[in-house]
Amino acid sequence: MGGQDKGLIQLNGQPLIQHVIDKLAPQTPTLLINANRNQNLYAQFAPVISDEFPDYPGPLGGIHAGLSHAPTDWVGFVPCDSPLICDDLVARFCQAVKPESDILVAHDGEHQQPVFTLFHKRVLPKLSAFLARGDRKIILLYDECHTSYVDFSDAPSCFFNLNTPQELAQFGALHP
């Protein structure tokens, strides 16, 4: 999106982050936003946390920050550019938890959706070591943990994300 902060890009008169919050707020009592810039703008939507690792290591940096600050043992993560999040996303993840689960990842029937996840806090030491050695590929972390997949094959649109100004314009026209 041309270097713009995706979560603050307007879609139908609201920033993308507001669309995501509108979908998640009825599903969970606690929301945190991971942001490394424009924290004061994001703070109007929910409490803001920032990456603790230098050089902003992508989604794993946000996951690390979330696990470090969340008040619960299980912490869910979604991207800020997916306005069609399912109304039962959190419930599906919670129903799939098993005692041995470390990480749950959404699967749309064809592909895993690696940034739609539920992590147990016990992953934090492993994630810290993973990031400290310079690893950044989220899928490699999943290989190191007890990772299970949650079936969303009946709702693949839940994971639709907006990556270009053209996609944003087309989506806005189809979903006023």
String of DSSP letters for 63-127: HHHHHHH-SSSEEEE--TT-TT--TTHHHHHHHH--TT-SEEEEE-SSSEEEEEEEEEGGGHHHH
Confidence of residue 2 (pLDDT cuts 50, 70, 90): low
Q: Is CATH 3.30.70.140 the right assignment for the domain spanning 6-174?
A: no
d(CA 104, CA 107): 10
Report whether 81 belongs to an annotated binding site: yes
pLDDT digits (tens, 9 = 90+) for 4-51: 899 999 988 999 999 999 999 999 999 999 999 999 999 999 999 999
8 A C-beta contact, residue 84 and residue 19? no
pLDDT digits (tens, 9 = 90+) for 42-101: 999 999 999 998 787 889 999 999 999 999 999 999 999 999 999 999 999 999 999 999
Q: Per-residue pLDDT for 171 more than 80?
A: no
d(CA 32, CA 27): 13
Query: 74: which strand partners?
Result: 120
**Per-residue confidence (pLDDT) for residue 123, from 0 to 100:** 98
Torsion angle (degrees, nearest 10) of CA 19, 55, 134, 71: -50
Cα atoms found within 13 Å of the Cα of residue 75, Cβ hemisphere only: 23
8 A C-beta contact, residue 136 and residue 58? yes
pLDDT digits (tens, 9 = 90+) for 104-151: 999 999 999 999 999 999 999 999 999 999 999 999 999 999 999 999
Report whether 51 belongs to an annotated binding site: yes
Can you give the residue ranges of every domain in the chain?
6-174
d(CA 40, CA 110): 38
Amino acid found at 25? A
pTM score, two decimals? Answer: 0.93
d(CA 1, CA 8): 11
d(CA 62, CA 81): 15
